[in-house]
Chains A and B, each alone.
Chain A
Amino acid sequence: MFDLDRWREIFQRLRKNKMGTALSGFTVSFAILLFTLLFGVGNGLKHTFEEQFAGDANNSVYIRTGRTTKPYKGLQSGRRIQLRNEDSKFMNENFEDKIQFFSPNIERNMQAIYKGEQNRYTVRGVYPDYQPLESAEIENGRFLSYLDIENKAKVIAIGRLVEEDLFGGRNALGKNINLEGLSYKVIGVFNDPGGDNDERFIYAPFTTLQGIYKPNDEVDYIGLTFNPELSVDQALAFTNLLTKQLKEKFSIDPRDQAALRVQNYAEGTKNVEQFMGVLNIIILFIGIGTMIAGIICISNIMVYLVKERTKELGIRKALGATPKSIVGMILMESIFITAVAGYIGLLVGVFTLNAIGPGLEDYFILNPSVETYVVVGATVVLVIAGTIAGYIPAKRAARIKPIVALNDE
């Protein structure tokens, strides 16, 4: 299929008609460049949102208690509601199939000392299940285990920034940290996409802290994630039922909002997902719009370029060029130009995104990038459009009687 002579003809023609070549090449390059940039920036916006909501598992539910604000069943208002171990058990038994991860929590602000360094941190007593709830990722060592829970071990997993604060960047693993007079061994260091705050937590086994600070099986709050197979509506129904049952158990007025709060992120997730959906549609529109503009431009240029050559095509026909060879020649030219120019636009676009990407974080655009298949797809679309755009006038030119073409001035 490779016809050297034909390629020679095309290159000669492109070289001689620098203006036309540059014009159509530039249009295609520019369209792909714009497409890449707009798409990349759109994706950057999307990434920002994803990151904003990446702090916690988006199917998490938190149950906290406070004081009652309404009298109920003969009980006074202002009564303190306290979660206990039995409530954990109650929830796990009643909603076994709805719950994915579950962890009661104890939270204390404590003074941590390592050698000369000290600082105050939030220390959380949790179950191993808490790790996915918080989306914490172990960098070094391990997270808490059920054995630690059982043994009430004095071990902790610390956030990346705690290690930085207290150990000045040295490895904290295996070292002992003093928390309010008791020594805990560091078994793991984690990072957390949720940001600096989440990386200044210290996690200890729930049973350890409860044994020391909560003599009566008390629990500060409970975190859980619902089964991810539940739809948003099912998840909301689940937490509504949970709320109702707990309020009944504690004899709280069903309308009392302060005594027991069940926080379900599903609602927020729903909004975020809707927003992302809209954002996706906007990005898609931008992309399609750019493509259409590019296709129209390249079509116009192709019509013009072929029109300009009517006489030349007439000469070629008089000399024995068949319509097929005329169409083939024009098509190969247009495919060649659009493919090369599209590739250039793609490279420039990706390069530009990489170059300006880091500078855009202040404008809520994070890591603007385009999936390779998307840009390659866009380029292919333009090449096909260029081909069709070239084919129609080429076909027409090939059909013109040579005598008409020859008289064209």
Chain B
Amino acid sequence: MIKIEKLHKSYPIGKDSLHVLKGLDLHIKEGEFVSIMGASGSGKSTLLNIVGLLDTHDEGNYFLNGQKIEELDEKKAAILRNKFLGFVFQSFNLITYKDALENVALPLYYQGMGRKERQKIALQYLDKVGLKDRANHLPNELSGGEKQRVAVARALATNPKVVLADEPTGALDSKTSDSVMKLLTDINREGMTVFVITHEEEIAAQTDRIVRLKDGVIISDERVNKTVNV
């Protein structure tokens, strides 16, 4: 599903440049539940941004769903993101003036789907994350855990190939963290490829495969859970 070969990325800092990713090789198959572990500065967010087509890489190859990603303009990237990827962010990133239902329906709007239909689908996904009764609440009327579940529903709405979660529990307490992780696990069990970035061992431990990143290189790649459904 995601195949990375000798990926390099550096950021210019003044005259120098900071080499963040130093030749990563990673292959994630369809249906995997993978976590990327690493301290801050290890390059894990950069990796997610590149995988999520939010940023471009300098060298190496990146294949998403078998398609080589190169020379993407903004428009192509936007269409690919919409079609293949669902995002869950640490800070939820819900649109504050839209209620839960509208937030979930937004990626469908960018697919050009009609209003009635996208609201119907959005409601189904809200139901799936257990927030059907909260459909018409604004984000600031929801708890942190609820916001993140809305974000998960939004990530799922377009039925993407991969769900990318960047520190999905970073802003949550341990109890709600568990419920969000449970939700991501359930989604994975239904066949979705889930790609989590975290620095917390407990979170990583709930996934099937842990990839450890340090200073821009992969230092370990291990399968933890036995029930890997590849």
Q: Interface residues, chain A, CB within 8 Å of chain B? A: 4-5, 8-9, 12-13, 16-17, 311-312, 314-325, 398-399, 401-403, 406
Task: Report Cα–Cα, A406/B97, bound state, in Å.
Answer: 17
Assuming the contacts A312-B95, A324-B75, asked whether A319 and B82 have C-beta atoms less than 8 A apart, the reply is yes
Residues on A with C-beta less than 8 A from B49 are: 403
Do B107 and A320 touch across chains, with their CB atoms under 8 A apart?
yes
* CA distance in complex: A316, B74 (Å): 13
Tell me the complex Cα distance, A342–B158, Å.
Answer: 40
B115 at the interface (CB under 8 A from A): yes
How far, in whole Å, are A322 and B81 apart by their CA atoms in the complex?
10
Residues in B neighbouring A317, C-beta threshold 8 A: 74, 78, 81
Q: Does B125 contact A (CB under 8 A)?
A: no
B93 close to A315 (CB less than 8 A): yes
| Binary flags per residue of B182-193, CB closer than 8 Å to A gives 1, else 0 | 000000000000
A323 to B73, CA, bound (A): 10
Contact A318 B95 (CB under 8 A): no
> Which residues does chain B contribute within 8 Å of A314, judged by CB atoms?
93
- CA distance in complex: A5, B79 (Å): 19
Known: A12-B98, A316-B106, A406-B54. A322 touches B93 (CB 8 A): no
**Contact call B154/A322, Cβ cutoff below 8 A:** no
Instruction: Give chain A nearest CB distance to B10 CB in angstroms.
Output: 15
CB neighbours of A16 from chain B (8 A): 97
Nearest B residue (CB) for A402: B54
Residues on B with beta carbons closer than 8 Å to the beta carbon of A324: 75
Asked whether A322 and B89 contact (CB < 8 A) given A13-B97, A315-B95, A403-B54, the answer is no
Closest to A318 in B: B87
Are the C-beta atoms of A322 and B97 separated by less than 8 Å? no
Residues of A within 8 A of B74 (CB): 317, 322-323, 398-399
Residue from B54, B78, B83, B96 within 8 A of A322 (CB atoms): B78
Answer yes or no: B111 CB below 8 A from chain A CBs.
yes
24 inter-chain pairs at a CB distance below 8 angstroms, sorted by A residue, are A5-B115, A8-B115, A12-B97, A12-B98, A316-B106, A317-B74, A318-B52, A318-B81, A318-B87, A319-B81, A319-B82, A319-B154, A320-B79, A320-B81, A320-B82, A320-B158, A322-B78, A322-B79, A323-B75, A323-B78, A401-B55, A402-B54, A403-B54, A406-B93
| B107 proximity list for chain A (CB < 8 A) | 319-320
Of B89, B95, B106, B154, most buried by chain A (CB within 10 Å of CB) is B95
Contact assessment for A406 and B110 in the assembled complex, using a CB-CB cutoff below 8 Å: no
Q: Which of B54, B102, B109, B115 contacts A401 (CB 8 A)?
A: B54
- Separation of A318 and B106 alpha carbons in the complex (Å): 11
Our pick among A4, A320, A398, A403 for the contact of B55 (Cβ within 8 Å) is: A403
Could you tell me the distance in whole angstroms from the C-beta of A366 to the nearest C-beta in chain B? 50
Q: Within the complex, which residue of A311, A319, A406 is in contact with B106, where a contact is CB–CB below 8 Å?
A: A319
Q: B109 contacts which chain A residues (CB < 8 A)?
A: 5, 9
CA distance A315 to B93 in the complex (A): 6
Cα distance, A399 to B77, chains bound together (Å)? 12
Complex Cα–Cα for A279 and B49 (A): 63
In angstroms, Cα B87 to Cα A321, docked, is 14
Report the bound CA distance from A26 to B134 in whole Å.
Answer: 36
In the assembled complex, the Cα of A5 lies from the Cα of B52 at a distance in Å of 27
Query: Once the chains bind, are A320 and B110 in contact (CB under 8 Å)?
Result: yes
Q: Which residues of B contact A311 (CB under 8 A)?
A: 93
Bound-state CA distance A17–B81 (Å) is: 28
Listed residue (B74, B75, B81, B102) with the most chain A CB atoms within 10 angstroms of its CB: B74
**Whole-angstrom distance between the alpha carbons of A17 and B97 in the complex?**
8
Would you list the 10 A-B pairs with minimal beta carbon distance, nearest first?
Answer: A320-B82, A16-B97, A320-B110, A403-B54, A319-B107, A322-B78, A322-B75, A323-B74, A402-B54, A403-B49
Tell me the smallest distance from the CB of A18 to a CB of chain B, in Å. Answer: 11
CB of B50, distance to nearest CB on chain A (Å): 10
* Chain A min CB distance to B100 (Å): 14
Cβ of B110 and Cβ of A319 under 8 Å apart? yes
Residue from B75, B78, B89, B158 in contact with A406 in the complex, judged by beta carbons closer than 8 Å: B89
Q: Which of A12, A13, A17, A320 contacts B78 (CB 8 A)?
A: A320
In the complex, residue of chain B having the shortest beta-carbon distance to the beta carbon of A321: B110
Shortest distance between the CB of B117 and any CB in chain A (Å)? 12
Cross-chain contact of A320 among B96, B98, B111, B115 (Cβ < 8 A): B111
User: B93 near A318 (CB under 8 angstroms)?
Assistant: yes
A406 CB contacts on chain B under 8 angstroms:
54, 89, 93
Chain A residues with CB below 8 A from B54, complex form:
318, 401-403, 406
Which of B52, B54, B87 neighbours the largest number of chain A CB atoms within 10 Å of its CB?
B54
Given A12-B98, A16-B97, A315-B93: A321 and B55 interface contact (C-beta under 8 Å): no
Name the CB-closest residue of B to A9: B109
A312 to B106, CA, bound (A): 12
5 A-B pairs besides A317-B74, A399-B74 with CB distance below 8 A are A9-B109, A318-B87, A322-B74, A324-B75, A406-B93
